[in-house]
């Protein structure tokens, strides 16, 4: 017999960890019908007839958020065979609130008390048998993180589905029970007996969705309304608050009977840490320091050497399998110095005639491209000639150890062997390998970053940041709930936009959707790393600044938008569970890292592959000498892509990078942000060190930073734009959101270029006038314009 077991619990209770432990790889992910809330189902390990349905994390069955609506509709509409309710043993009071509601549904419930290892470590005691007796259902203890007791919990749920009934043992006060009894008798007496109490309680609470479903006559409504008002009058509170308060009174009695805290009143380890990391003054600086360290490790400390190996080795000439033998560095430097002297001597003779004693020559730094003048004697020249004659050819790295050729080298040899056509070689080598390889070369940095972010999320720190930032966001018209989509958006903008549905206030939700993609997502990491490495010498502050520029853009936008009528009003209240700090298991962190990384790699193999083929074709073919033909490397200005780029490049001239290559890279970035790197790799030669040198020559630090900021803040990729359209559910609002993002990005990048030019002595008078005007408008909106009162009016064709 097939069974369906619903997994229900609060956010951060360990529900997802339990679901992964129970189902392993037997998971099916989609969306609930008609909504963008993620739906997860999986087959229970060793029990293929049992389906585990992972419901969204919720705090109650009251329909305030889309997740709560989805969970409640499934439970009362689909009625699974059993509910496995996972609760956090370190926070019983908050978690049992949902339990009291689940036990009223008439569906068999098994409670799994999670994090029991932490409870025992703290010296606390939970009497599982007494808790089971108080709740009227089976209770088991587990540790989802360690896998302890998880299969037993599922088996208990299977047993309950076949054999058990859950009868709620808690009762409300006399006036409430009197009203509920009247409602059961008058309204729900024809329903199945096990469902009557839940419906009666919801009618007592005046639940809109239940009342509309029941279709109660006006006479009957008036009758039960009198009973409800009598209870409200006697208890001096509204019906919903009465039920909430009495649930917590019952929960307090349950906890008193079964829970013993070792150090009652004393601070736990998590509380002690929170006194520092959530401190009003220290919270933000600590967050900034942690994020700087994360990006330094990911981009510089560990990620940079790995990415250098990927770019210059795997997707370059090749690499040494077991390290380099002999003195390649010494021989290479010796040969390079000798060659520079000989070349410099020849240039000096050509320009000045034979030197009598000494002469000067120019030396170019391979990494910075900086040119310096050196002095050498005629004797040095003779010695250099002798060195070159003795060494023969320039030292080849392949001769200094076990050499593994890079992907381009292997592919090129295979194509030569197959006598491939010139255009096919160009497509594969200069298009696919160079474009996709330039993107995949940054996978090591991304994996390191995803690993560290997954660790911060799993250990409980990111939940604290949401709490810390709520204090900041609230001052600027946003709720701390807005940080959750931004946190999710660090991985990918699509689920980040979708996460905004947890915000009840429609105005706040729309504003969050508009600003969430300002936070750098995983797809922007290669682009950030490329700019930081090529133009700024790999400085970690550039990568870190991208994160805080995104946060600053959100704060500034929040203030400005809240002062307009379409977004006015108080931000939604923010309630969030702060889980106890714990050391996450390596498999869970690696799973999270790999899911994000694999999503990126799949995109490189599909969208980016197709994009690089198109970019290569349009950049290598064009009209020259009145004919359409394949162009040589030095003829790219005649290409189709160059024509398109030149047609739009003028738009970006005020930003400091009005060349066609940068213009088309920004355009292809709309398909997928990784395409910026792939496009640069194709247009600037192979995605290796040559590309980075070309970028360094094309951009200054000011214009490079302007390019970075514009592409960070402008419209996201097409997939994220699609998510914005679905969540906005309105074409005009979607157009407004994209227009605001692009306009805001343009203004900020414009000011960076113009004010940067002022600092470097390359200012443009007209540009400065407009830049100062833009700055004054922003300052006025931030500090002088008053907030609008919230009112009801139609904006962009939609009632707000």
Is 393 marked within a binding site?
no
Q: pLDDT tens digits, residue range 44-68? A: 888 888 899 888 888 888 766 677 7
Residues 181 and 116 in one domain: no
| Residue that finishes a domain, picked among 105, 134, 163 | 163
Q: Which helix (H) or strand (E) holds 176?
A: helix 174-186
Residues 151 and 18 in one domain: yes
Name, of 286-295, 566-575, 644-653, the range with top average pLDDT: 644-653
Alpha carbons 404 and 398: distance in angstroms, whole number: 8
According to the model, what pLDDT value does residue 736 have?
Answer: 92
Which residue range forms the structural domain that includes residue 73?
Answer: 3-163
Is 24 marked within a binding site?
yes
According to the model, what pLDDT value does residue 741 have?
Answer: 92
Residues 14 and 150 in one domain: yes
Residues 515 and 548 in one domain: yes
Q: pLDDT tens digits, residue range 339-354? A: 888 888 888 888 888 8
Is 108 marked within a binding site?
no
Is 20 marked within a binding site?
yes
Is 739 marked within a binding site?
no
| Contact criterion met (CB below 8 Å) for 774 and 748 | no
Asked whether residue 356 is domain-assigned, the answer is yes
Residues 54 and 129 in one domain: yes
Is 55 marked within a binding site?
yes
| Number of structural domains the chain divides into | 4
What is the DSSP code (8-state) at residue 44? E
Q: Specify burial of residue 776 (Cβ count, 10 A radius: 0-12, 13-18, 19+).
A: exposed
Alpha carbons 498 and 485: distance in angstroms, whole number: 7
Alpha carbons 467 and 273: distance in angstroms, whole number: 14
Is 11 marked within a binding site?
yes
Q: How far apart are the first and last CA of the chain?
A: 49
Is 56 marked within a binding site?
yes
Q: Which of 636, 644, 683, 479 is nearest to 570 (CA)?
A: 479
Give me the CATH number covering residue 181. Answer: 1.10.287.1770
Q: pLDDT tens digits, residue range 548-566? A: 888 888 888 888 887 787 7
Which residues have C-beta within 8 Å of that of residue 483, sequence separation ≥ 6? 465, 466, 469, 470, 473
Asked whether residue 631 is domain-assigned, the answer is no
Alpha carbons 288 and 417: distance in angstroms, whole number: 54
| Contact criterion met (CB below 8 Å) for 343 and 363 | no
Q: Kind of pairing, strands 627-630 and 47-54?
A: unpaired
Is 14 marked within a binding site?
yes
What is each CA distance from 366 to 369, 697, 770, 784, in whole angstroms?
A: 5, 12, 39, 51
Half-sphere exposure of 570 (CA within 13 A, CB side): 3
Is 299 marked within a binding site?
no
- Does position 679 have pLDDT exceeding 60, yes or no? yes
| Residue that finishes a domain, picked among 352, 381, 401 | 401
Is 514 marked within a binding site?
no
Is 21 marked within a binding site?
yes
Is 673 marked within a binding site?
no
According to the model, what pLDDT value does residue 691 have?
Answer: 59
Contacts by 735-740, CB closer than 8 A, 24 or more apart: 736/796, 737/510, 737/513, 737/514, 740/514, 740/557
| Contact criterion met (CB below 8 Å) for 558 and 503 | no
Q: pLDDT tens digits, residue range 142-198? A: 888 788 888 899 989 999 888 877 777 788 888 888 888 888 888 888 888 888 888
According to the model, what pLDDT value does residue 749 have?
Answer: 92
Q: Which of 385, 379, 431 is nearest to 408 (CA)?
A: 431
pLDDT band at 499 (very low <50, low <70, confident <90, very high): low
Which residues have C-beta within 8 Å of that of residue 209, sequence separation ≥ 6? 63, 69
Helix (H/G/I), strand (E/B), else coil: 650: helix
Asked whether residue 80 is domain-assigned, the answer is yes
Alpha carbons 514 and 715: distance in angstroms, whole number: 10
Cβ neighbour number for residue 287 with a 10 Å cutoff: 20
Give the residue-averaged pLDDT of 99-128.
87
Residues 144 and 31 in one domain: yes
Give the residue-averaged pLDDT of 573-600.
72
Give the residue-averaged pLDDT of 580-606.
75
Give the residue-averaged pLDDT of 310-331.
74
Give the residue-averaged pLDDT of 623-634.
77
Is 764 marked within a binding site?
no
Give the residue-averaged pLDDT of 403-411.
83
Q: Number of helices and strands (H, E) in the chain?
A: 36, 17
Residues 157 and 39 in one domain: yes
3-state secondary structure 90-105: CCHHHHHHHHHHHCCC
Percent of the chain past pLDDT 90, that is, above it, reads 6
Alpha carbons 284 and 281: distance in angstroms, whole number: 7
- Does position 228 have pLDDT exceeding 90, yes or no? no
According to the model, what pLDDT value does residue 457 have?
Answer: 77
According to the model, what pLDDT value does residue 572 have?
Answer: 52
- Does position 518 have pLDDT exceeding 70, yes or no? yes
According to the model, what pLDDT value does residue 742 have?
Answer: 93
Alpha carbons 288 and 301: distance in angstroms, whole number: 18
**Could you tell me the two tokens for 766?**
């007209």
Q: pLDDT tens digits, residue range 441-483? A: 767 877 887 788 788 877 878 777 777 777 666 666 566 666 6
Name, of 88-92, 255-259, 556-560, the range with top average pLDDT: 255-259
Alpha carbons 338 and 266: distance in angstroms, whole number: 73
Alpha carbons 697 and 8: distance in angstroms, whole number: 57
According to the model, what pLDDT value does residue 740 have?
Answer: 92
Which residues have C-beta within 8 Å of that of residue 40, sequence separation ≥ 6? 19, 27, 28, 29, 53, 54
Give the residue-averaged pLDDT of 75-89.
89
According to the model, what pLDDT value does residue 792 have?
Answer: 41
**Could you tell me the two tokens for 287?**
């967050």
Asked whether residue 654 is domain-assigned, the answer is no
Is 38 marked within a binding site?
yes
Residues 240 and 343 in one domain: no
Give the residue-averaged pLDDT of 717-740.
84
| Contact criterion met (CB below 8 Å) for 403 and 318 | yes
Is 383 marked within a binding site?
no
Asked whether residue 785 is domain-assigned, the answer is yes
What is each CA distance from 159 to 5, 81, 154, 411, in whole angstroms?
A: 11, 10, 9, 59
Give the residue-averaged pLDDT of 245-271.
80
Residues 125 and 11 in one domain: yes
Alpha carbons 313 and 687: distance in angstroms, whole number: 12
Is 57 marked within a binding site?
yes
Q: CA angle at residue 639 from 636 to 644, to 5 degrees?
A: 120
Chain mean pLDDT for the chain: 80
Q: DSSP states of 609-627 as a string?
A: HHHHHHHHHHHHEEEETTE
Give the residue-averaged pLDDT of 93-114.
89
| Residue that finishes a domain, picked among 385, 401, 417 | 401
- Does position 790 have pLDDT exceeding 50, yes or no? no
Is 231 marked within a binding site?
no
Which residues have C-beta within 8 Å of that of residue 610, sequence separation ≥ 6? none
Give the length of the chain: 800
Is 681 marked within a binding site?
no
pLDDT band at 796 (very low <50, low <70, confident <90, very high): very low
**Could you tell me the two tokens for 347?**
């240039």
Give the residue-averaged pLDDT of 783-798.
53
- Does position 794 have pLDDT exceeding 50, yes or no? no
Q: CA angle at residue 47 from 42 to 50, to 5 degrees?
A: 50
- 404, β-bridge pairs: 319
Asked whether residue 738 is domain-assigned, the answer is yes
* Dihedral sign of CA atoms 670, 673, 679, 684 in order: positive
Scored b (16 or more CB within 10 A) or e, 258-281 reads bbeeeeeeeebebeebbeebbeee
pLDDT band at 738 (very low <50, low <70, confident <90, very high): very high
Residues 159 and 191 in one domain: no
Is 794 marked within a binding site?
no
Is 13 marked within a binding site?
yes
Contacts by 210-218, CB closer than 8 A, 24 or more apart: 214/187, 214/188, 216/187
Cβ neighbour number for residue 210 with a 10 Å cutoff: 20
Give the residue-averaged pLDDT of 125-131.
89
Residues 790 and 732 in one domain: yes
Asked whether residue 269 is domain-assigned, the answer is no
Contacts by 614-617, CB closer than 8 A, 24 or more apart: 615/431, 615/435, 615/641, 615/664, 615/668, 615/675, 615/678, 615/679, 615/682, 615/683, 616/426, 616/427, 616/430, 616/431, 616/432, 616/435, 616/682, 617/427, 617/431
Give me the CATH number covering residue 16. Answer: 3.40.50.300
Is 35 marked within a binding site?
yes
Lowest mean pLDDT among 127-131, 189-193, 398-402, 518-522: 398-402
Q: Which of 459, 547, 472, 481 is nearest to 281 (CA)?
A: 472
pLDDT band at 791 (very low <50, low <70, confident <90, very high): very low
Alpha carbons 4 and 16: distance in angstroms, whole number: 17
What is the DSSP code (8-state) at residue 630? E
pLDDT band at 574 (very low <50, low <70, confident <90, very high): low
Q: pLDDT tens digits, residue range 637-671? A: 788 888 888 888 889 889 888 788 888 888 888 87
pTM of the model: 0.57
Please report how the helices 586-605 and 15-23 are oriented relative to each other, as an axis angle in degrees rounded to 10.
80
Alpha carbons 573 and 47: distance in angstroms, whole number: 43
Asked whether residue 432 is domain-assigned, the answer is no
Is 10 marked within a binding site?
yes
Alpha carbons 3 and 80: distance in angstroms, whole number: 8
Residues 243 and 346 in one domain: no
């Amino acid at each position: 017999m097939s069974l369906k077991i619903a997994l229900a619990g609060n956010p951060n209770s360990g529900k997802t960890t339990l679901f992964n432990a129970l189902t392993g790889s037997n998971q099916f992910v989609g969306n609930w019908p008609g909504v963008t809330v993620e739906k997860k189902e999986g087959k229970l390990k060793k029990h293929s007839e049992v389906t585990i349905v992972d419901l969204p994390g919720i705090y109650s069955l009251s329909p305030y958020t889309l997740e709560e609506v989805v969970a409640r509709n499934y439970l009362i509409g689909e009625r699974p065979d059993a509910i496995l309710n996972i609760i956090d043993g370190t926070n019983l009071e908050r978690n049992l609130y949902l339990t009291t509601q689940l036990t009223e549904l008439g569906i068999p419930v098994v409670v799994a008390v999670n994090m029991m290892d932490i409870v025992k470590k703290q010296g606390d005691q939970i009497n599982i048998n007494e808790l089971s007796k108080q709740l009227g259902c089976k209770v088991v203890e587990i540790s989802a993180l360690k896998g302890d007791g998880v299969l037993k919990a599922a088996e208990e749920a299977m047993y309950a589905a076949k054999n058990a009934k859950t009868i709620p043992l808690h009762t409300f006060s006399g006036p409430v029970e009197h009203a509920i009894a009247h409602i059961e008798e008058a309204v729900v007496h024809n329903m199945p007996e096990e469902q009557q109490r839940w419906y009666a309680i919801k009618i007592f609470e005046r639940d809109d969705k239940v009342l509309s479903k029941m279709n109660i006559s006006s006479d009957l409504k008036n009758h039960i309304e009198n009973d409800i008002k009598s209870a409200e009058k006697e208890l001096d509170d509204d019906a919903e608050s009465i039920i909430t308060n009495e649930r917590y009174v019952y929960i307090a009695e349950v906890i008193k009977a079964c829970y013993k805290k070792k150090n009652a009143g004393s601070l736990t380890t998590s509380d002690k840490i929170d006194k520092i990391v959530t401190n009003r003054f220290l919270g933000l600086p600590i967050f900034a320091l942690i994020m700087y360290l994360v990006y330094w490790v990911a981009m510089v400390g560990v990620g940079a050497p790995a990415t250098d190996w990927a770019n210059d080795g795997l997707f370059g000439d090749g690499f040494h399998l077991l390290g380099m033998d002999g003195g390649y560095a010494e021989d290479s430097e010796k040969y390079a110095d000798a060659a520079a002297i000989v070349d410099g001597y020849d240039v000096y003779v050509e320009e000045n005639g034979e030197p009598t004693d000494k002469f000067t020559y120019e030396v170019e730094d391979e990494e910075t491209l900086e040119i310096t003048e050196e002095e050498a004697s005629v004797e040095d020249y003779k010695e250099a000639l002798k060195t070159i004659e003795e060494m023969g050819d320039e030292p080849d790295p392949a001769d200094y150890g076990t050499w593994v050729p890079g992907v381009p080298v292997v592919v090129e040899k295979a194509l030569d062997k197959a006598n491939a056509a010139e255009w096919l070689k160009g497509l594969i080598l200069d298009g696919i390998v160079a474009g996709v390889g330039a993107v995949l070369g940054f996978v090591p940095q991304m994996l390191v970053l995803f690993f560290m972010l997954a660790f911060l999320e799993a250990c409980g720190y990111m939940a604290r940041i949401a709490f810390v930032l709520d204090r900041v966001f609230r001052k600027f018209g946003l709720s701390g709930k807005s940080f959750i989509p931004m946190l999710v958006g660090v991985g990918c903008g699509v689920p980040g936009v979708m996460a905004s549905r947890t915000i009840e206030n429609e105005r706040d939700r729309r504003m969050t959707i508009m600003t969430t993609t300002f936070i750098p997502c995983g797809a922007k990491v290669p682009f950030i790393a490329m700019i930081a490495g090529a133009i700024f010498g790999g400085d970690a502050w550039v990568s870190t600044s991208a994160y805080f520029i995104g946060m600053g853009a959100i704060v500034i936008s929040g203030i400005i938008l809240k002062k307009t009528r379409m977004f006015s009003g108080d931000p939604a209240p923010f309630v969030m569970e702060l889980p106890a700090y714990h050391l996450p298991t390596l498999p869970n962190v690696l799973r999270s890292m790999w899911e994000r990384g694999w999503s990126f790699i799949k995109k490189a193999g599909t969208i980016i592959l197709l994009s690089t083929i198109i970019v290569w074709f349009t950049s290598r073919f064009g009209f020259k000498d009145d004919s359409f033909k394949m162009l040589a490397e030095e003829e790219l200005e005649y290409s189709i892509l160059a024509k398109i780029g030149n047609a739009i490049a003028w738009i970006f001239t005020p930003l400091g990078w009005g060349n066609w290559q940068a213009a088309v890279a920004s355009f292809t970035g709309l398909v997928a942000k990784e395409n910026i790197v792939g496009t640069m790799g194709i247009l600037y030669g192979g995605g290796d060190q040559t590309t980075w040198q070309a970028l360094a020559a094309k951009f200054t630090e000011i214009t490079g930073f302007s390019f970075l900021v514009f592409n960070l803040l402008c419209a996201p990729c097409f997939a994220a734009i699609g998510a914005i359209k679905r969540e906005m559910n309105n074409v005009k609002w979607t157009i407004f959101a994209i227009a605001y993002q692009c306009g805001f990005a343009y203004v900020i990048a414009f000011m960076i270029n113009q004010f940067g030019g002022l600092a470097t002595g390359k200012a443009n008078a007209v540009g400065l006038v407009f830049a100062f005007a833009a700055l004054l408008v922003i300052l006025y909106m931030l500090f002088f314009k008053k907030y609008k009162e919230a009112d009801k009016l139609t904006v962009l064709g939609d009632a707000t």
